[in-house]
Amino acid sequence: MTAQLIDGKAVAASVQQKVKEEAALLKAKYNVVPGLATVLVGDNPASKAYVGSKQKMTQELGMYSVGAHLPADISQDELLKVIRGYGADPQVHGILIQLPLPAHLDQETVLSAVPLEKDVDGFHPINVGRLAMKNREPLFVPCTPSGCIVLIDSVGTKIEGARAVILGRSNIVGLPAAFLLLHRNATITICHSRTQNLPDVVRQADILVAAIGKAHFVKADWIKPGATVIDVGINAIPDATKKSGQRLVGDVDFENVKEVAGAITPVPGGVGPMTIAMLMQNTCTSAKRAVGLSK
Ligand code: GUN
């Protein structure tokens, strides 16, 4: 069997089209343009590329993009001032602090400085806490895991009652993905570097979310036939046939796993585009709330 390919680019494009229409409506009816402020500290090339893509998409959807690119040695007080400035700016509906931050900055203090109603990344401790509890509503949930859920839904995989295995326990992907799946009534298992008999655990998964950052780590004989496989990994491996000398692959051995899985996301073109699409959606939701249009 060859798995159904989950086309993240197409799903992201449809989310973005809707955001574009909603942004146009907000402008026409309320003279409000959804605005996203990005905050980049230092010169990590991957972070620079991600922030650039987020800014570009914000503009493409007719929204307002503003950004601060700050030196790697900025003091915490200076950084907090920048964040508070965006917090007070009525043109800004969402603030994104690109992670990771340099080690001398206290991530929790920095993320706490984002006003809750502008926390479009869902990383404010109060939003995280609400996500981690029953019957609480975070104002926003993190973009990569919420994009994973949209992709799972896009192929009609039933989440309720499914066994979902999450590889990785990061604050950005693994943990929030686990809570989102749990709130949809999946039975969840979170695996990490100390998990024993990992292949046996993965074999139980009706839904697998791989977010560990190791190229081609998940093998075909770990996969339950028909499972839905969501690959969050973005890993560069050497490839002499490419001009850059490398190419991007996921955490899953795609070529072999696709012969066993029921549905699978490719890398690139799977989860990656969804992260940006969900960020755009969150920013637009924030602007809708600002004019009283959304809960
Ligand atoms: N670094 C890696 N992924 C993300 C993300 O989704 N949001 C932010 N802010 N930083 C990241």
- What's the rounded mean pLDDT across residues 150-159? 98
Give a yes or no: residue 129 inside a domain.
Answer: no
**Residues 245-262: tens digit of each pLDDT:** 999 999 999 999 999 999
Tokens for 12, please give them.
Answer: 């992201």
The predicted structure's pLDDT at residue 169: 98
Residue keyed to tokens 């990569």: 144
Residue 1 has pLDDT above 80, yes or no: no
- What's the rounded mean pLDDT across residues 116-132? 98
Strands 246-249 and 235-238: antiparallel
* Domain CATH number, residue 84: 3.40.50.10860
Same domain for 83 and 193, yes or no, is no
**Residues 4-15: tens digit of each pLDDT:** 999 999 999 999
- Residue 17 a catalytic site member: no
* Domain CATH number, residue 194: 3.40.50.720
Whether the CB of 172 sits within 6 Å of ligand 1: yes
Same domain for 218 and 104, yes or no, is no
Same domain for 151 and 239, yes or no, is yes
- What's the rounded mean pLDDT across residues 268-281? 98
Give a yes or no: residue 246 inside a domain.
Answer: yes
Whether the CB of 26 sits within 6 Å of ligand 1: no
The predicted structure's pLDDT at residue 12: 98
Nearest CA to ligand 1 atom 9: 98
Tokens for 44, please give them.
Answer: 């990590």
**Cα–Cα distance between 51 and 53 in angstroms, integer?**
5
- What's the rounded mean pLDDT across residues 94-112? 98
Same domain for 103 and 148, yes or no, is no
Same domain for 222 and 102, yes or no, is no
Give the chain's mean pLDDT.
Answer: 97
Same domain for 159 and 265, yes or no, is yes
Give a yes or no: residue 257 inside a domain.
Answer: yes
Of the chain, the percentage scoring pLDDT greater than 70 comes to: 100
- Secondary structure of the chain as H, E, C letters: CCCEECCHHHHHHHHHHHHHHHHHHHHHHHCCCCEEEEEEECCCHHHHHHHHHHHHHHHHCCCEEEEEEECCCCCHHHHHHHHHHHHHCCCCCEEEECCCCCCCCCHHHHHHCCCHHHCCCCCCHHHHHHHCCCCCCCCCCCHHHHHHHHHHHHCCCCCCCCEEEEECCCCCCHHHHHHHHHHCCCEEEEECCCCCCHHHHHCCCCEEEECCCCCCCECHHHCCCCCEEEECCCEEEECCCCCCCEEEECCECHHHHCCCCCEECCCCCCHHHHHHHHHHHHHHHHHHHHCCCCC
Contact 284, 23 (CB under 8 A): yes
User: 86 is in which domain, residue-wise?
Assistant: 31-116
Give a yes or no: residue 123 inside a domain.
Answer: no
- What's the rounded mean pLDDT across residues 74-86? 98
Q: Ligand 1 atom closest to Cα of 96?
A: 9
Same domain for 235 and 164, yes or no, is yes
Same domain for 154 and 241, yes or no, is yes
CA of 121 to the centre of ligand 1 (A): 8
The active-site residue out of 16, 54, 55, 206 is 54
Give a yes or no: residue 127 inside a domain.
Answer: no
Look up the pTM and report it. 0.97
Residue keyed to tokens 């972070």: 47
Model confidence band, residue 144 (pLDDT cutoffs 50, 70, 90): very high
**Cα–Cα distance between 36 and 276 in angstroms, integer?**
12
The predicted structure's pLDDT at residue 145: 98
**Residues 39-49: tens digit of each pLDDT:** 999 999 999 99
Tokens for 206, please give them.
Answer: 């009706």
Give a yes or no: residue 285 inside a domain.
Answer: no
Give a yes or no: residue 188 inside a domain.
Answer: yes
**Residues 185-222: tens digit of each pLDDT:** 999 999 999 999 999 999 999 999 999 999 999 999 99
Residue keyed to tokens 């949209």: 150
- What's the rounded mean pLDDT across residues 143-151? 98
* CA-closest candidate to residue 249, choices 223, 277, 270: 270
Largest CA distance in the chain: 57
Same domain for 173 and 264, yes or no, is yes
Nearest CA to ligand 1 atom 11: 99
Give a yes or no: residue 254 inside a domain.
Answer: yes
**Cα–Cα distance between 19 and 62 in angstroms, integer?**
9
Residue keyed to tokens 């620079």: 48
Q: What is the domain count for the chain?
A: 2
Same domain for 147 and 265, yes or no, is yes
Residue 26 burial (CB < 10 Å; 0-12/13-18/19+)? buried
Same domain for 156 and 232, yes or no, is yes
Same domain for 94 and 204, yes or no, is no
**Residues 18-41: tens digit of each pLDDT:** 999 999 999 999 999 999 999 999
- Residue 206 a catalytic site member: no
